Amino acid sequence: MPDDAPLAPHGPLPTGGTVRPITRWGTPVMHRPQARVTSYDDALRALAADMVATMYAADGVGLAACQIGEDVAMFVFDCPDEERVRTVGLVCNPTLTLPEGKDRVLEEDDEGCLSLPGAFVDCARPDRARVDGFGLDGEPVSFEGTGLLARCLQHETDHTFGTVFGDRIPTKARKKLQKQHEAEADEYPPDWPVGESPDPD
């Protein structure tokens, strides 16, 4: 974990994990709802540590368990909000709450996914989001944010329900995304990010 990473409101992210290859779009586990967490045990903690190590090695702001091939409804994140304040956290069995009615404002911005590396297109999402769920010990956790953090919370919760952000954009934009990914394929071998050094920032 980067030395300057803030502590999560519900405790620090687990450390000591192993960097694993990131699972790509098209793999079945990426496109189905993930199994709910029912046992908050050492195996779950070990998986979370691997997710944290992999997220930092890939220079990501969030990572879901399915992105390292595990059918578990959990994600980790280390992401700034629109005020550039970083929040770190871990959520099992997330439930997403978004603004409704006059409070709902869509923000269109670049979005990418570590499971389709090297590609970014605009994706409209609500500018604020809240996620409730459970931490590694089964304790209730809640995170809320704006800007990139709001986008991250929505993106990662989507993963736990088998949705990739490409499912939320028009066909033309998805084709553009795929072309970008294919053009960058040489930069991201099948075992990426194994062997990468975590970003110290």
Compute the mean pLDDT over every residue in the chain, rounded to the nearest whole number: 93
Which of 107, 156, 182, 184 does the annotation list as catalytic? 156
Torsion of CA 132, 82, 148, 175, to 10 degrees: 140
pLDDT tens-place string over residues 18-45: 999 999 999 999 999 999 999 999 999 9
Annotated catalytic, 156?
yes
Confidence of residue 199 (pLDDT cuts 50, 70, 90): low
Which amino acid, 139? E
Do the Cβ atoms of 138 and 12 come closer than 8 Å?
Answer: no
Of 38, 47, 2, which Cα lies nearest the Cα of 20?
A: 47
| Whole-prediction pTM | 0.92
Domains and CATH numbers, the chain: 28-180 (3.90.45.10)
Q: What is the DSSP letter of 37?
A: P
pLDDT of 183 higher than 60: yes
pLDDT tens-place string over residues 68-95: 999 999 999 999 999 999 999 999 999 9
